[in-house]
Amino acid sequence: MRHAAATSAIFAAVTLSSWACTTSSAPANENSNSAIPAKRAASPAAAKAGVIAGFAFVDSAATSHGSRSKVPPGTKIYPPGSKITGTTGCPTTRYQTDGLLVVVIDYNGRPTAGSIQVTRHPASGGQFENAPYYLDLDSGRIMQMLGPIFENGTYDVKFTYDFSLGSGETTSASIVLARSCVAPR
């Protein structure tokens, strides 16, 4: 009987202490009555851990690491909304292994999953959605190839990440290609 009473007392103490740890109140903030966690309750600018820094043109050696690819030093990054004209970013090799369009992402958060969705609006007409590219995100600057894109038109990119509280955080950007590329030989 004594053993059962001691076991019950220990069980109650452990249960109450674990209950106290899980129900302790969070630090007070201006949104203390909100059901939104503190991470989401911050201002919209502060809450964004991931942003599309811009677009760049690189060669296949730079994109060969997939979602772990880093932007090569000295690469020119065009801000979202840029219109690229002339021969900027045009492929110069027979197999078009350079002039590959990539999106540059700055992410500052814990490791998480993400995706990039591209919608193409070719200059010749139409609207086409590519299958999403799935990413493993770590803090830092990364790039993701947007596919073999050489055709003029507008390209809308939607970056979604951090699905921990539902549908994820989303940001988007676009780039316009209006180039006069010569077919490489």
Residue 114: give its domain's CATH number.
2.60.40.10
Q: Is the pTM of this model over 0.85?
A: no
Establish if 58 belongs to a structural domain: yes
Asked if residue 163 and residue 108 are part of one domain, the reply reads yes
Tokens of 143: 């790039």
pLDDT exceeds cutoff 50 at 41: no
Tokens of 104: 């540059």
Asked if residue 150 and residue 72 are part of one domain, the reply reads yes
Q: Which residues pair with 158 in a beta bridge?
A: 117, 172
Asked if residue 83 and residue 13 are part of one domain, the reply reads no
Asked if residue 102 and residue 124 are part of one domain, the reply reads yes
Stretch 58-75: mean pLDDT = 89
Specify whether the CB–CB gap between 70 and 105 falls below 8 A: no
Establish if 90 belongs to a structural domain: yes
Asked if residue 61 and residue 30 are part of one domain, the reply reads no
Range of the domain at 28: 2-39
Asked if residue 101 and residue 22 are part of one domain, the reply reads no
When pLDDT is cut at 50, 70 and 90, the band that residue 47 belongs to is: low
Establish if 117 belongs to a structural domain: yes
Neighbours of 170 (CB within 10 A): 14
Asked if residue 95 and residue 60 are part of one domain, the reply reads yes
- Helices and strands (H, E) in the chain, number of each type: 4, 9
Establish if 30 belongs to a structural domain: yes
pLDDT exceeds cutoff 60 at 149: yes
Q: Please state, rounded to an integer, the average pLDDT across all residues of the chain.
A: 80
pLDDT of residue 3: 52
**Tens of pLDDT along 118-138?**
999 999 999 999 999 999 999
Establish if 29 belongs to a structural domain: yes
Asked if residue 167 and residue 112 are part of one domain, the reply reads yes
Asked if residue 67 and residue 26 are part of one domain, the reply reads no
Establish if 11 belongs to a structural domain: yes
Asked if residue 116 and residue 153 are part of one domain, the reply reads yes
Phi-psi bin for 74: left (phi > 0), alpha (psi -120 to 50), beta? left
Asked if residue 114 and residue 29 are part of one domain, the reply reads no
Q: Which of 173, 61, 78 is nearest to 118 (CA)?
A: 173
Q: Please state, in angstroms and rounded to a whole number, the distance separating the CA atoms of residues 10 and 12.
A: 5
Structural domain count, the chain: 2
pLDDT of residue 107: 95
Establish if 184 belongs to a structural domain: no
Query: In a 3-state reduction of DSSP, which class is residue 59?
Result: coil
The per-residue b/e assignment along 45-59, b for 16 or more CB within 10 angstroms, e otherwise, is: eeebbbbbbbbbbbb
When pLDDT is cut at 50, 70 and 90, the band that residue 170 belongs to is: very high
Establish if 67 belongs to a structural domain: yes
Asked if residue 80 and residue 139 are part of one domain, the reply reads yes
